[in-house]
Structure 1
């Protein structure tokens, strides 16, 4: 996703991995594998314990995975730390454990830490790709198209309201310069589709009208987020907006989404025929994953996001007669990889910026309070733009658009590395991301379940 793509550029590039691997000793190579395995053990323990606690408290399990990530990450126990989260080999308990148990050298510890962090980050990326593929399989293309106009309005209002509210509020209320204010306003725009989709699936509201509107709007939000990212990144570098780049992203996004769906419908009969001819294990799952990864690659190659390709692949294959069997086979894969994404996203978040006793945090917290208000209100009002004759839970649609997740951190990451954002404004954006991410799951659970409970009580009466 955007977060890891930018982080990769700003902290650790692929050109650095090759020389690191070349200089790694045999014992260091063993430590790398050991580090990945221990990291996965920590991730799965944090995921299952957190999810189980939340499930028993009638809260979304994904919230437990996010909380588990906080506990094992840079904010608490330092078991799972990453360079982009402010960690290094010296404060990683996993690396220190490897030094003590595998004979890892201090020089090798740096290499092991960097490679281990990137491997886990890549697994998290694959996890969210699988999640969106699964969500695509669960979605109904016809229903998405039916609510398409509603989704488009929700997405546009959900981007415009927080962007303009945040930008002008920072300029006129806090005296923030124009470009930093635009950066902060941009960080308020995009919705974390991974978090929202997971909660909707857990609540079994994914195929309800509200769920389809939220998913459609979140997908469009993601596309708009990429375009806005291109604009603010251009502003940060040159002070000007490269219109050709923006137009390219708009055209390529529309062409990809429409073309993939249309060509996918033509491809479906051949897919079923190929699957029926295969006689080896994985005859359904492997071709489906190949198709999902091909579309994910194409989306990435044209500077969109891999998750858009995966979601589109799921939508296309959901229309085949193999859909039910495929969903059953994808679920175990998702159970393995998706928790990595949620735990890692949370582990990279340092909630130390919420500490009001640290003097440099106080200005950021004041600005953060304003950004949080705009972030929530700006998305909630987007839900009330849905006007139809049917009874629709508009509040739930707005709440579903609230979580910013890793997407908001991307804008903060670009702004801080380019020097556009001040320390207090950078901290304010991080606080906004943290709170909107963690507030969304319980709020979604509340606004969706409450009407159902009232309905049941009415019928009993």
Structure 2
């Protein structure tokens, strides 16, 4: 029953912290992230990142991205696909280059230095999605570009991770495994098109006829979890599958019904667990010894994504206000970078003595990201109040 008590504590503290954050004109998610830092092993040690906590967190981020997909405008995502590609590509290349150079300066081997770049090339857009929803900016050109870039970024990160683990890592990975994984991922995206166009509308119409209360939201959640599981099984992030499941639902007449039902489940239970779990990875042992390293890495983590994403947006003739908002939306590393760092440690591509510091940098960049995004979105609304068509 200890887990039940932990959930009760998470729900009440995130509610209070979110309310305080908004009173201080900050995104509510900032308070929720800080709850994890304060109650976690880093400070009070009241909460631990147990297996049950991890599962709750996984479901939380899946539901969050499913809701983002439901509330997204598919036509807008298509319209801003080219800017999204640019943002993703440059937003990956710049961190790769900068962190490789810094790793070499810090005396890391070639593979370890470039793996720093792989870690910080990843983006976790789930935190940014919450800020975009809070500010009503999900269906704007900035929101559509951030969401599109995040999907592309995730695919690039998975490919890079596969290549580096198979080439330099210690493990069973091989070139044939990478080729098979790539083929499965391509087939997955073919399947996504089929699910969006045909499977989802048929399943939801059948669900509507079933004499069971909530049958449409239940079938929608089935699609969400199934597509998330399949994405994870073939090496993609589960949030990619959840997002496209949401997009599929958004193309049907059941969009509002599903959004209302799933939001009530997500925001009252699973999503707070996800936000808190990010903070639980923060530990401060040995921080003072490597404080300079942590500060420099955090600044590089923020700057490379911010300006890399912004440059990609400017190249497609967006103004600097929109470009900086898009770059800000790509700063958060979150669970994607944490997973890559863990895999890198197992494959001996990440030095053990720097692992804790790398985790701190990932969490710090994730906490800073929503503040940065809020500030840039305010500038966009001030200088360009009209929404994209």
TM surpasses 0.5: yes
Q: Provide the residue aligned with 2:196 in structure 1.
A: 264
In 2, the alpha carbon distance for the partners of 1:394 and 1:329 equals: 34
1:449 aligns with 2:382: no
Larger Rg over CA atoms? 1
- Does the Cα contact within 8 Å between 1:296 and 1:306 map onto a contact in 2? yes
1:141 aligns with 2:74: yes
1:317 aligns with 2:243: no
Q: Describe how 1:28-177 pairs up with structure 2 within 5 A.
A: 34-82=1-49, 117-171=50-104, 173-177=105-109
Q: Provide the residue aligned with 1:9 in structure 2.
A: none
Alpha-carbon distance, 1:136 to partner = 0.6
Alpha-carbon distance, 1:209 to partner = 0.5
Unmatched 5+ residue regions in structure 2? Answer: none
Kindly report the root-mean-square deviation, in angstroms, between the aligned alpha carbons of the 2 structures.
2.2
**Could you report, residue by residue, the CA deviation over 1:215-248 in whole angstroms, capped at 9, with x for unpaired residues?**
1111111122222222333345349983333333
In 1, the alpha carbon distance for the partners of 2:272 and 2:316 equals: 37
**Could you report, residue by residue, the CA deviation over 1:73-128 in whole angstroms, capped at 9, with x for unpaired residues?**
0011111113xxxxxxxxxxxxxxxxxxxxxxxxxxxxxxxxxx212211111111
- SS of equivalent to 2:121: coil
Q: Describe how 1:340-351 pairs up with structure 2 within 5 A.
A: 340-351=273-284
Which moved further from structure 2: 412-421 or 61-70?
412-421
In 2, the alpha carbon distance for the partners of 1:120 and 1:42 equals: 13
Q: Provide the residue aligned with 1:373 in structure 2.
A: 299
- Does the Cα contact within 8 Å between 1:141 and 1:315 map onto a contact in 2? yes
In 2, the alpha carbon distance for the partners of 1:422 and 1:388 equals: 39
In 1, the alpha carbon distance for the partners of 2:283 and 2:166 equals: 27
In 1, the alpha carbon distance for the partners of 2:45 and 2:356 equals: 20
Alpha-carbon distance, 1:169 to partner = 2.5
Is the alpha carbon distance of 1:390 and 1:315 closer, same or farther for their aligned partners in structure 2, counting shifts above 3 Å? same
Which moved further from structure 2: 243-252 or 282-291?
243-252
Q: Provide the residue aligned with 1:432 in structure 2.
A: 361
- Does the Cα contact within 8 Å between 2:38 and 2:44 map onto a contact in 1? yes
Alpha-carbon distance, 1:65 to partner = 0.6
Q: Provide the residue aligned with 2:122 in structure 1.
A: 190
Q: Provide the residue aligned with 2:331 in structure 1.
A: 402
Alpha-carbon distance, 1:254 to partner = 3.0
Alpha-carbon distance, 1:204 to partner = 1.3
Normalized against structure 1, the TM-score is what? 0.77
2:181 to 242, 249, 255: 249
In 2, the alpha carbon distance for the partners of 1:418 and 1:270 equals: 44
**Could you report, residue by residue, the CA deviation over 1:243-284 in whole angstroms, capped at 9, with x for unpaired residues?**
333333333333312321234311244134213312221121
1:199 to 115, 131, 147: 131
Normalized against structure 2, the TM-score is what? 0.91
Q: How many residues align?
A: 381
1:385 to 299, 303, 312: 312
Unmatched 5+ residue regions in structure 1? Answer: 1-33, 83-116, 457-461
In 2, the alpha carbon distance for the partners of 1:169 and 1:409 equals: 20
Q: Provide the residue aligned with 1:217 in structure 2.
A: 149
**Could you report, residue by residue, the CA deviation over 1:277-332 in whole angstroms, capped at 9, with x for unpaired residues?**
12221121111111212212222232322221111110011000111121111110
Alpha-carbon distance, 1:423 to partner = 4.5
| Greater relative contact order, per chain length (Cα 8 Å cut-off, separation 6+) | 2
1:179 aligns with 2:111: yes
Alpha-carbon distance, 1:374 to partner = 2.8
In 2, the alpha carbon distance for the partners of 1:258 and 1:396 equals: 31
